[in-house]
Structure 1
């Protein structure tokens, strides 16, 4: 009768193979962790270097100013993250910021009611976002074309309703949204902190977030799994429009006017911040902490260039370089994942 027990040599060979496999698995996990945390580590090093080399960078006033300067980008990046995670994007956010700010200022001018002004701006943003969602999800219009068309139409509406002029704001209660402070921090900084907490929980700890990532990973498989893909996409864009309107109203309160030409190119800064933070342009992957790092990178670069009195033309060049670097980084991460 043949014995089925293994020999000592076979046991040794099996153990060696298992050890190698465990070592490779551990190495793979370490490499993946380094890739995922590369921007966080890079930003930490950059921050320390700037603190020691750029005068006034690490001052309390400048750090608060830095957080305030990225407040609008941070708010919208939270919802843009959800759009990108579901394999969509929104180019109309800059125009929505301008229109909601202008509309809020006009309503405030005619009614002197802060509630109506804020409500009108938020409703406009929600309708713009939901309209984008319907075009993309139900009418099957490509996200690039749909949101590009919306960007142009909404910007045009901002100029039409304001007659091409800035709409001044003199209401102290409305101005306090952008100018007031709590615990020494400006209200916009607190609002963006709340946005990151809320959307972090939404992405990582709710069915809504899991379904969003599932749609981005494979829409057809998500539909077969019972996810109402079209309805969820509309909700994602509605949230995008709503939060963008909040950013627009806060911007209007900060500059004490509704400006129809404000936030031009804003959408590219937001997408750059998201992609720098590890959100995949191919959908299905997003990290809220990574988006925060991406937003801080964008703001820090601009802040340092302002401290060093770098000409605005070079700042445009740097923003374009960051956008290109973000896209290339996304491509490299995608290839390493497939590999």
Structure 2
């Protein structure tokens, strides 16, 4: 009888390792920094680079749970409206005498509830896509924010509240430290836990995951609730940085977040991608915007560059798959 061996792990391949999209992102990241350094002599100032992170890391908090959502094969376009609603309620409560600390806690609860509602609606109405449901809640959440403040702004927060958006700890922006902590937590959650493995399984085959005993509805609700929570974290940092809030804050954040996630190599079909890719993409787009801003490059040019990068990020895996199919056919 012929003996057969079954490998439970794929053998390590340097070719596979170094041809991952994350390495391509690192190459692009280096190229962007070289380009920015040549465009402006002020770009490589370490203090300026450090401070530049304050301008784009607030939306980066939403990137982390959005990775989980897109690996599931879903999407959430209501996150920016959740930021606005959480921020407006926090400011409105403080203006009515609620202590700022308690208002911040309520802000986090509001964001989590918004995400929880999204998740419950998605698992309840399975015939509707997450795009349709979160489009509806995007309009609702932003509408409630306008009902509360109309076109008015609310601010005059206590002095200590500005710490979140503008202060440093040991010379490092506080927002960067908090983002690094959350990035580690979400990376471990996705890649080192049973919960993360189940997210990948659901993204690859939802029906098979359901029949294998995975509580797919529960996981979806949790992931969307996490997105709402992180949107509220963004609301706190953004409001602190601006010193006030309006119902139209964070407009367009959902597109920026999705762009970062897709550029990070997360498959729009679900089931593939790594958290580290999305994190690199956050800094790539953020520093690209900062560098081009130093030389007054129009925002439209930046949009074109990011659009081309996104097309490249989406097209490259498909080109690899077609190449493999041609090899097998031959």
> TM-score, normalization: structure 2?
0.88
Alignment of 1:286 with 2:273, yes or no, is yes
Aligned partner of 1:295 among 264, 282, 286 = 282
Q: Which residue, out of 82, 88, 95, partners 2:81? A: 95
Gaps of 5+ in 1: 1-24
Contact kept? 1:103, 1:258, Cα under 8 Å? no
Question: Which structure 2 residue ranges, 5 or more long, are not aligned?
Answer: 1-10
Q: 1:147: Cα distance to partner?
A: 0.8
Partner of 1:6: none
| Secondary structure class of the residue paired with 1:111 | coil
Which of 296, 306, 311 is equivalent to 1:309? 296
Q: Is it true that 1:247 corresponds to 2:247 in the alignment?
A: no
* TM-align CA RMSD: 2.1
2:154 to 161, 164, 167: 167
Q: Aligned residues, how many? A: 314
- Report the CA distance between 1:265 and its aligned residue: 1.3
Provide closer, same or farther for how the CA distance between residues 217 and 153 of structure 1 changes in structure 2, counting only shifts above 3 A: same
Q: Tell me which residue corresponds to 2:57.
A: 71
Q: Contact 1:35–1:333 at 8 Å: present in 2 too?
A: no
Q: Mapping of 1:1-339 within 5 angstroms?
A: 30=15, 33-36=18-21, 37-140=23-126, 141-329=128-316, 331-332=318-319, 335=322
Contact 1:276/1:329 (8 A) holds in 2: no
Native 8 Å contact 1:167 1:259 kept in 2:
yes
Q: Is the 8 A contact 1:272 1:322 kept in 2?
A: no
Aligned pair in 2 of structure 1 residues 74, 105: CA closer, same or farther (>3 Å)?
Answer: same
Q: Aligned equivalents of 2:238 and 2:298: distance in 1?
A: 24
Distance 1:327 1:72 in 2: 25
CA shift digits 1:161-220 (9 cap, x unpaired) = 112211113311222221221111222111111111110110111111111111111111
- CA displacement at 1:333 relative to structure 2: 5.5
Report which of the two structures shows the higher radius of gyration computed on alpha carbons.
1
How far, CA to CA, are the matches of 2:321 and 2:216 in structure 1? 24
